[in-house]
Amino acid sequence: MSAAYNAMELMICCAARLLEDGRTAAIGTGVPCAAAMLAQRMHAPHLVILFEAGGVAPQLPTMPISVGDSRSFHRAVMATSMADIMETCRRGLIDYTFLGGAQIDPYGNLNSTCIGGDYARPKVRLPGSGGANDLASFCWRILVVTHHDRRRFVEKLDFLTTPGYLTGPGAREAAGLPPGSGPYRVITDLAVLGYNDETKRMEVYSLHPGVSLAQVRAATGFELGVREPLAVTEPPTPAELLLLREEVDPHRYVIGRC
């Protein structure tokens, strides 16, 4: 098998490596599902997956196409409801969640509501929060997987849909959200980013192979810090690619989107 890989495969592998065995993760379909399935097959067989529609700890032979797909309940511990999943989240029992949006700011806040400053008459109306606000508020670690460009990575959101670190240190706690919770990593087609422990602003943790820091900064609409020593992202291994292509996404529903 060729060792070549595309950007989507790299992002999925990076996300999968962050999911530890024995943890819980609220995921959606697409990239999050592919990452969770790969993690279970590689190093985290006891990773507990929860789908928003109610599937708890399913065994996924193939990738569901929606959170309500019957496959998201396959051999699950429970087939419950969205209310129970959100209550589990509110009780502090979910370690990771994957979220996304049209915009992300330096503190990991997300916009999935509208583009344009006028909420009543935006340039673009987006789907809205769904369960993203709830999950970001009460899950312990927020993961974002997205393409990297200046339209997404902005200094100020057009609308705050989903809380990250809000305005900076102490802001989540002041808003009544659990201490120690919040944004964890942002995985893009250029780099892996995290957050400064003191300022809570986004910074570069590792550059993907062949990518320069100047490229990442040029694709970002705000000032980025750097976590020293700045690393180079480990590329997908042959074992990861084999599982991803042959078992997780053999029809290229996700890894073909590049």
Active-site annotation, residues:
52
User: Is residue 183 exposed (0-12), middle (13-18) or buried (19+ Cβ within 10 Å)?
Assistant: buried
Shortest CA distance to 143 belongs to which of 255, 59, 66, 35? Answer: 35
DSSP H helical ranges for 168-212: 171-174
Listed in sequence order, the residues at least 6 apart from 57 whose beta carbon sits closer than 8 Å to its beta carbon are 48, 49, 50, 76, 77, 78
Compute and round to an integer the Cα radius of gyration of the chain. Answer: 18
Listed in sequence order, the residues at least 6 apart from 153 whose beta carbon sits closer than 8 Å to its beta carbon are 103, 104, 105, 219, 220, 221, 222
User: Is residue 122 exposed (0-12), middle (13-18) or buried (19+ Cβ within 10 Å)?
Assistant: middle
Distance CA 19, CA 16 (A): 6
